[in-house]
């Protein structure tokens, strides 16, 4: 038996990588598999939430009972999130969104030559920061994947984006595999969790999130 900790809540979330086109066949992406985000979407649904999952290219089947929109680029992800936000109680950014995209994508396949080739990149919008800064912002949960100094970088991101909760993981623990080891950060401090399958980690994240939502409502 699982208590419906998120009954009546609408959760919008992102998962997977983004793909930023260079030309019709090439692009910039990363090795996010989508497993953590999809496990969390499933856990939110099992906890009774209505879930809208905006996913970059993963090849994973959508979790049962979860509404989803497939996107490719960060700009498409931002548009889909913006469209899904009305009425959302919670936004969770699990996606590994590309920080930069090529200034323009070539219309035709770039041809090989012996000359050096320079790719000019421009920053992508920070979807989570934009959602958190809205006057009608839902309760925002961020993720941070770092290769070192997890506490400093994760808590720095949480504060910079003014997030009530952030899930921190090391890339060597969380990226691609079936297990993860995370630390949850909130206004009360850091809450390390044991290494576990992503489905179990997702359940733990939902329990922590639900607790914070109850505390906030009681204020
Ligand atoms: O997909 P898996 O293989 O299961 O791996 C899971 C994961 C490691 C990708 C996941 O657990 C994770 O940590 N996701 C966040 C990845 C990341 O590096 O985020 P970031 O530090 O670049 O960004 C911080 C936060 O801002 C994230 O919530 C991110 O979704 C969000 N963001 C970042 C950039 C951007 N342009 N828009 C955003 O919304």
Domain spans in the chain, listed from the N-terminal domain onward:
10-101+118-218
Pick the CATH number of 10-101+118-218 from 3.10.105.10, 3.40.50.10300, 3.30.70.1560, 3.90.1530.10: 3.40.50.10300
Work out the average pLDDT over 31-53.
Answer: 98
pLDDT in tens, 188-206: 999 999 999 999 999 999 9
Judge whether 161 and 91 are in contact, CB under 8 Å: no
ipTM of the complex: 0.99
- Between the CA of 94 and the centroid of ligand 1 the distance, in Å, is 5
Greatest Cα pair distance, the chain, in angstroms, is: 66
Phi, psi of 205 (to 5 degrees): -65, -40
Query: What is the position in ligand 1's atom list of the atom closest to the CA of 39?
Result: 4
d(CA 198, CA 181): 9
Whole-number Å distance between alpha carbons of 57 and 157? 25
DSSP 111: P
Q: What residues are designated binding site?
A: 99, 109, 125-128, 143, 157, 161
Q: Which ranges of 47-91 would DSSP assign to H, the alpha helix?
A: 74-84
């Amino acid at each position: 038996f699982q208590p419906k900790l998120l009954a009546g809540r609408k959760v919008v979330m992102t998962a997977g990588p983004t793909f930023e086109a260079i030309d019709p066949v090439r692009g910039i992406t990363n090795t996010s598999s989508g497993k953590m985000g999809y496990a969390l979407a499933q856990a939110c649904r099992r906890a009774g939430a209505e879930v809208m999952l905006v996913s970059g290219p993963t090849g994973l089947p959508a979790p049962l009972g979860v509404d989803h929109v497939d996107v490719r680029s960060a700009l498409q992800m931002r548009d889909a999130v913006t469209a899904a936000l009305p009425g959302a109680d919670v936004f969770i950014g699990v996606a590994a969104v590309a920080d930069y995209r090529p200034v323009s994508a070539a219309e035709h396949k770039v041809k090989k030559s012996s000359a050096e080739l320079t790719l000019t990149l421009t920053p992508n919008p920070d979807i989570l920061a934009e959602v958190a800064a809205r006057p009608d912002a839902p309760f925002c949960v961020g993720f941070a994947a770092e290769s070192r100094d997890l506490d400093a970088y994760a808590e720095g991101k949480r504060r910079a984006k003014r997030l009530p909760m952030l899930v921190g993981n090391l890339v060597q623990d969380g990226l691609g595999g079936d297990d993860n080891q995370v630390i949850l950060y909130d206004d009360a401090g850091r809450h390390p969790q044991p290494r576990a399958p992503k489905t179990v980690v997702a359940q733990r994240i939902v329990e922590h999130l639900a607790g914070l939502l109850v505390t906030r409502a009681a204020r």
